[in-house]
């Protein structure tokens, strides 16, 4: 989840989706937790 925080802070267009998608696919993050973090 710290990686999502870093990507959010960096405001790098597109890269967050790629990395997050891969992490979801690999089961390394929970979708509900990621959405809650990014909505904050």
Residue 12's pLDDT is what?
Answer: 67
Q: What is the per-residue pLDDT across 1-40, written as a single tens digit (0 to 9) for each?
A: 677 777 777 776 776 677 778 888 899 989 898 888 878 7
Q: Is-contact 34 1, C-beta < 8 A?
A: yes
What lies within 8 Å, CB to CB, of 36 at 6+ separation is none
Q: Which of 32, 6, 40, 33 is nearest to 19 (CA)?
A: 6
Per DSSP, the residues of 13-38 read: TTHHHHHHHHHHHHTSS-HHHHHHHH
């Amino acid at each position: 989840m710290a990686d999502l925080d870093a990507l959010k802070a960096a405001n790098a267009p597109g890269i967050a989706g790629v990395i997050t998608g891969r992490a979801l696919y690999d089961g390394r993050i929970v979708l509900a937790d990621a959405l809650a973090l990014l909505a904050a």
